[in-house]
């Protein structure tokens, strides 16, 4: 996937430790099969007209369905099919793949682990009894500092931004790079959702903040191009848990965003 992936598994039974190896094998397989940059990958065999290739695998069908869903829900801002470009599902594949790797671990008996895929995190259970996992959000301008830290338990955190790879996220409605935000983080029950929603919202620009916050079970932390910080009020709670995320399920409007002074130093 062109990015580092790490795994922190706590107090796991032997089957779970064996599953850790299988999880990395799965992620390598995903890179081979679903990278748009690899010759012979399943994705490279897709056409540009959204049709499912003959003999497509169930996994590829699931990926295409996810791409179509977020293209529809974002009004076309998220788009895996751009004119003149090959099919590129990278906006959903990473979170989807890492979420599945987490399911492999959980099915083998691991109840406390954290997967980190280039800054997108799936955190399950607790690293120690009574202590949540702490997830830092990289400062967009100060590479060795964070601008926020969230304590989480049994949820996922994904960030889309322009500070690592430049303006690589394209607004599918215009075909131009999205530049209204510098960073947008989504906390959600699973990494498939967190990754796809953060990518789609970043492509939408400032309007994507409210759109992401209105998605069921999603909380948002964003920094716009004017260096204003927007955050869902529920992020002020000490720990983000599935119960907290459930409190914002089915929202029909975005929660109130708070604009704060731009943090030039580390987060809390």
Q: Which residues pair with 138 in a beta bridge?
A: 146
Query: Is the pLDDT assigned to residue 2 strictly greater than 80?
Result: no
Q: What local confidence, expressed as pLDDT, does residue 258 receive?
A: 43
d(C-alpha 30, C-alpha 7), whole Å: 17
What pLDDT digit, counting tens, does each position of 61-96 carry?
999 999 999 999 999 999 999 888 889 999 999 999
Count of helix runs (H) and strand runs (E) in the chain: 6, 11
Place 163 in a pLDDT band, splitting at 50, 70 and 90.
Answer: low
What pLDDT digit, counting tens, does each position of 232-248 carry?
999 999 999 999 999 87
Q: Which of 237, 67, 63 is nearest to 245 (CA)?
A: 237
- Percent of the chain exceeding pLDDT 70 equals 91
């Amino acid at each position: 996937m062109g990015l580092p992936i790490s795994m922190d598994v706590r107090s796991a039974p032997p089957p779970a430790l064996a599953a850790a190896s299988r999880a990395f094998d799965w992620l390598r397989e995903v890179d081979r099969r679903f990278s748009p940059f690899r010759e012979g990958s399943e994705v490279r065999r897709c056409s540009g007209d959204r049709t499912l290739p003959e003999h497509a695998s169930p996994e590829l069908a699931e990926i295409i369905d996810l791409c179509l869903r977020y293209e529809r829900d974002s009004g076309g801002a998220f788009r895996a099919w751009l004119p003149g470009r090959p099919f590129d599902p990278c906006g959903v594949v990473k979170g989807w793949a890492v979420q599945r790797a987490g399911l492999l671990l959980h099915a083998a008996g691991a109840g406390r682990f954290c997967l980190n895929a280039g800054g997108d995190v799936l955190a399950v259970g607790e690293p120690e009894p009574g202590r949540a996992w702490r997830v830092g959000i990289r400062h967009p301008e100060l590479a060795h500092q964070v601008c926020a830290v969230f304590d989480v338990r049994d949820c996922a955190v994904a960030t889309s931004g322009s500070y690592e790879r430049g303006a690589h996220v394209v607004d599918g409605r215009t075909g131009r790079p999205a530049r209204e935000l510098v960073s947008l983080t989504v906390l959600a029950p699973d990494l498939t959702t967190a990754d796809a929603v953060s990518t789609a919202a970043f492509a939408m620009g400032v309007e994507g903040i409210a759109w992401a916050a209105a998605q069921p079970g999603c909380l948002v932390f964003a920094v716009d191009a004017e260096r204003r910080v927007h955050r869902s009020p529920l992020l002020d709670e000490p720990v983000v848990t599935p119960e907290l995320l459930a409190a914002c399920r089915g929202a029909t409007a975005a929660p109130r965003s708070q604009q704060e002074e731009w943090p030039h130093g580390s987060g809390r």
